Structure 1
């Protein structure tokens, strides 16, 4: 049975908008050993030979799934047939190459391996122009209720047995000069040792999502700050609760640490979500960037006022809770999907109060067409402006300027090549409107994941056109970085000030000097 489900090639992005992509710790890489020597199929593979007719040429974004008799002993592999999924790259390649990946046993139903979106993200994280996934057929449409990673075993015989099929799936152009192409096997690593599905839901914006408890192997990054109790400790393994979306299953949207406790009613051991700790690797650098607004924050604190922060993107609410509980901010969170907010409240301990409020709104649309001037409800075109129209629900919040805007948003479609921030957010009119609601000493903070230095340079250029100064912090995971844009020039020396304010001292205490000292001007 053969199922051909084309993935439509996305339209090219506007020339001024960057492509940004994130894989957040989930990578595809070559196995440590060399792949077995290719096995010829019915001859020496003369030039032009090889390839099933349907796969002789690359077709951008074509996705094909079919079943194939299992060449391995069913008693070893557990299935008489294999699911073979073939995806061609959305972008043309001058030197076509094919790679393969064996689906980890027990994860056949995981959206990473069973959906076109997950397959595409795996392909984009490799250098291949065609990626073939091979594994047992999935047992359902959602990840298994419980997964336990089996003991590692050699896949050498599996790879050798599957090479004839893989050679037949190579495009005709790969057979050059009578030589058989090399088909490397990629491995998948995300550190998950054990997982349990807590809930599966579907939202009007995010689509299908899974809340799951996982046990992950921890790998300490070089130079990690291990002295701060508000950051995740270094440990061999750690339990976490996290959310993933089906449209981008390789990305962990939000995660929090699970810590053991004794239930008062029964005396039995259980786990609870630890809400006061920043687990996502880029959240601590985002908070560290408040250093750039420390004069404003210190001034408001001395006046008995809470600094005001608007968070675009709530997720599980870890950042919002941290800003309110540890730094005393007045926090407003905006989340586009009400189901995501419900999950944050039910499964991640998000609690609203006098100084922490959330609302269901599209953060980008709120700033599109928004007029930052005092226009008595009318913009220059005579139409009702955003502040007095779409933004009426938070008009009171805007009566005094916002001190900090934090953006943690990703793209809705991995095929756009943009994951964080969405391309729409860095349009000039949106950035200008964002600036218009900030205090004159305020800052914009963004989680950014660029696919290349060129894309990152373009993003920096767009921000420079609107804001006064730009700063950055590298997260240290090889993927994320955090950008800070200031409305006005920073009026104090960044470092070497012997009389740091009490807020800066507190900031160093709760997120560590490692990130504060890593801030650099662009």
Structure 2
């Protein structure tokens, strides 16, 4: 038998409910959960001695169960004559004090301030089916009547699904003077008593009527569903509504995850309830192709501090690979946030155990222990060394982190894009530093994972290039001469984009005949590079604080080619474009003509291109070819970056073996005895898959 209306407007129709209860008979119908789901909240606001008005009672057992629990002074009203007769007959002998009356909630016959509580389970949702003027007028009458019959200090307790228009109307109305508003989340999914199922969570809104006192603060609170946790005080109605919507989004996400496993990754943030700041980021990765065994349903992987930007943890492809390698059907990968205190792996496990089980896959055996995994024995180390704010790029931090093994790194992170490392430098122990054994032992006992040299006593490793695309750009310098560029050869280099300065510093320190000019639009970035990344200027290194577009256009006006190398390593702030590096204006024809003008005929233009749109990428290459007839391209493995080496004259095209030999020759001269060199890469490898485009 189909008891659902044809459209939602029928919910506000008296005729619909008459027909509904005739068909339903005396069997109770529990909207949004029964007594067992709701009693924990209801008994906080409805006391045994309270006079309670239940509006739109229907044939729910809720009033009967409240009566049996000691709340007997109950007046029930409904617009359905059928249901009022049924409920009166059902309760006449067993619950004589409780009454049932045929009455419209918008026009009751009760006296002013007669009740301590008004209970509404689904009635507002049934009336407020749309936002038409007539509907809103009816709802306004309902709210006015509830306010009239409630005593000061009385509570309007409204159980609702909080659909968007209902939420907006309810919160706007009662966030005005004279009311305090609290919101509880009750349940998600099906309730045990009625078997009814909703994909959205159920909320209980508690509006407490108070005397209007000048200066009395607005009280809007989102209550926690955990015992002993303080409610979140919201600053505005908008903030409270957003808190409710966030609970709804989370419920939908869980419903989606519980329905089936899919190949699409799901992510969400968990916030600290006291500060409302993000504390964890969850990435839920399913691997449906993994053969299911009793013990490999579900696991949690904790990313150590500071390693969330690594490809394996910071990219969707990397996380998919990680999930497949650990061999679980569902893996939740957890990133830890800066500015949050964590007391070790055991404390994190205790904090997350209940929350991650909410995201467990369907079919997880009862009482199965969920393993917590990580990339190391501890949760890593992250130390924020400096905070600042750029007028151009917003807030940023300089932080030191422990990498894989015993390595430490310093990073510049713009908080508007926290998962991207703007600049990174490797930290080395101060040379010649000797520590007393006693001091070393003492420090190791205090923090054995931090090693024997404090971060404050470490120096920048200027041989280290953090980015694979920086290594490829350096390798491209071997294209300047068929036999490879010798470090002593005089070359003039223009680098657009400074960052922490590692690329410019490497050229300055290892190509001793070089004269480097860097252009950086953000003065704050230069300050950070000098203070925290070991950057400095001298007679061979100069920085221009200027827009790179303006700087090159001004140089082109002078008309004298002056540079052997021009490098672009600048990102775009416009995320709506399919190309994140460089900004589109840097690859327009007119500007590229000016790049060609300032470049010597035997020079090279090196471009870091990050473009996810293949059509746009091909357009960029086509425009480049109009001024640079010979272009070599090196794709960076496991990254979107592609390095384009652009020559302004059509010369002999070098084969891959010739390019690799040229890079080997250049590196042989760069790696000198007594000069620090990063052994983790060699320049020839960076050109092993170079192609002509």
- Mark yes or no: TM-score above 0.5: yes
Alignment of 1:285 with 2:472, yes or no, is yes
Deviations 1:313-352 (A, max 9, x none): 0111111111111122211111111111011011111021
Instruction: Check the 8 A contact 1:146/1:194 in 2, yes or no.
Output: no
Checking the alignment, whether the CA contact within 8 Å between 1:148 and 1:193 is kept in structure 2 is: no
CA contact (8 A) 1:441 1:486 kept: yes
Q: Distance in 2 between matches of 1:263 and 1:103?
A: 45
CA distance in 1, matches of 2:270, 2:651: 51
Instruction: Pick from 405, 408, 415 the counterpart of residue 239 of structure 1.
Output: 408
1:31 paired residue number? none
Asked if the contact 1:110/1:143 (under 8 Å) is kept, the reply is: no
Q: Decide which of 349, 353, 359 is 1:153's aligned counterpart.
A: 349
Residue 479 of structure 2 aligns to a residue whose secondary structure is helix
Aligned residues: 377
Q: Secondary structure at the match of 2:416?
A: coil
**1:488: how far off?**
1.2
Tell me which of the two structures has the higher relative contact order, counting C-alpha pairs closer than 8 angstroms and 6 or more residues apart.
1
Cα separation, 2, equivalents of 1:342 and 1:431: 30
The 5-angstrom pairing of residues 45-64 of structure 1 reads 50-51=199-200
From the superposition, tell whether residues 148 and 410 of structure 1 become closer, same or farther in structure 2 (CA, over 3 Å).
farther
SS in structure 1 of the partner of residue 481 of structure 2: helix
**Cα distance, 1:498–1:309 mapped onto 2, change above 3 Å:** closer
Taking the aligned partners of 2:562 and 2:279, their CA distance within structure 1 comes to 42
Question: Closer, same or farther in 2 for the Cα pair 1:364/1:112, shift >3 Å?
Answer: farther
Q: Contact 1:444–1:485 (CA<8 Å) still a contact in 2?
A: yes
User: What residue number does 1:330 align with?
Assistant: 515
Matched, 1:506 2:660: no
In the alignment, is the contact (CA less than 8 A) between 1:71 and 1:161 conserved in 2? no
Please say if residues 430 and 458 of structure 2, whose CA atoms lie closer than 8 Å, have aligned partners that are also in contact. Answer: yes
- After superposition, the Cα gap between the structure-2 partners of 1:441 and 1:212, relative to the gap in structure 1 and judged at 3 Å, is same
| Correspondence for 1:198 | 385
Note if contact 2:632-2:646 (Cα within 8 Å) is conserved in structure 1: yes
Correspondence for 1:435 among 583, 588, 596:
596
Residue 468 of structure 2 is aligned to residue 307 of structure 1: no
Q: Is 1:101 the counterpart of 2:268 in the alignment?
A: yes
Assess if the C-alpha contact under 8 Å between 2:221 and 2:231 holds in 1: no
Residue of structure 1 in register with 2:88 after alignment: none
**3-state SS of 2:618 partner:** helix
Cα distance in 1 for residues equivalent to 2:463 and 2:427: 11
Which residue does the alignment assign to 1:461? 622
Instruction: Give SS of 1:311's match.
Output: strand
Deviation of 1:402 (Å): 0.7
Secondary structure, counterpart of 2:637 in structure 1: coil
Rounded Cα–Cα distance in structure 2 between residues aligned with 1:105 and 1:145: 9
2:494 matched to 1:316?
no
For residues 460 and 429 of structure 1, what CA distance do their matches in structure 2 show? 15
Partner of 1:17: none
Are 1:40 and 2:189 an aligned pair?
yes
Contact 1:240–1:257 (8 Å) recurs in 2:
yes
The aligned counterpart of 2:546 is 361
Match of 1:449, SS? Answer: strand
2:464 aligns to what SS in structure 1? coil
Which residue number in structure 2 is paired with residue 22 of structure 1? Answer: none
Gaps of 5+ in 2: 1-161, 165-186, 203-219, 234-242, 251-263, 282-307, 309-313, 318-335, 361-372, 440-452, 672-681
Q: Which string of whole-angstrom CA distances, capped at 9 and with x for unpartnered residues, describes residues 415-447 of structure 1?
A: 445421112211111111111111112111122
Q: Distance in 2 between matches of 1:334 and 1:149?
A: 43
1:351 aligns with 2:565: no
1:401 aligns with 2:562: yes
Q: TM-score, normalised to structure 1's length? A: 0.60
- Per-residue deviation, residues 336-388 of structure 1 (Å, max 9, x unmatched): 111110110111110211111112111123345x583xxxxxxxxxxxxxx35
The aligned runs of 1:252-291 (5 Å cut-off) are 252-261=421-430, 269=453, 270-291=457-478
Deviation string for 1:273-303 (max 9, x for gaps)? 21222122221111111122224975xx69x
Inter-partner Cα distance in structure 2 for 1:428 and 1:286: 22
> How far apart are residue 45 of structure 1 and its match?
8.0
The superposition leaves residues 250-272 of structure 1 with CA deviations (integer Å, 9 ceiling, x where unpaired) of 21100000112368598783222
Q: Partners in 2 of 1:254 and 1:514 — Cα distance?
A: 23
Note if contact 1:259-1:273 (Cα within 8 Å) is conserved in structure 2. Answer: yes
Secondary structure of the residue aligned to 1:473 is strand
Q: Compared with structure 1, are the counterparts of its residues 416 and 203 closer, same or farther at alpha carbon in structure 2 (3 Å cutoff)?
A: same
Shift of 1:473: 1.4
Distance 1:104 1:263 in 2: 45
Residue 315 to residue 98, structure 1, CA distance change in 2 (3 Å): closer
Counterpart pick for 1:342 among 514, 517, 527: 527
Aligned 8 A contact 1:467 1:486 in 2: yes
Quote the Cα distance in structure 2 between the aligned partners of 1:192 and 1:455.
Answer: 41
- Please identify runs of 4+ aligned residues in structure 1 that moved more than 6 A: 43-46, 104-108, 110-113, 124-127, 145-149, 265-268
2:655 is aligned with 1:491: no
**Is residue 144 from structure 1 mapped to residue 353 from structure 2 by the alignment?**
no
Provide the aligned C-alpha RMSD in A. 4.9
Cα displacement (A) at 1:498: 11
Secondary structure of the equivalent of 2:403? strand
| Helix, strand or coil at the partner of 1:419 | strand
Alpha carbons of structure 1 residues 264 and 424: separation in structure 2 relative to 1, 3 Å: same
Contact 1:147 1:196 in 2 (8 A): no
Query: Does structure 1 conserve the Cα–Cα contact (< 8 Å) formed by 2:578 and 2:616?
Result: no
Q: Which residue does 1:249 correspond to in 2?
A: 418
Q: Could you tell me how far apart the structure 1 residues matched to 2:623 and 2:565 are?
A: 19
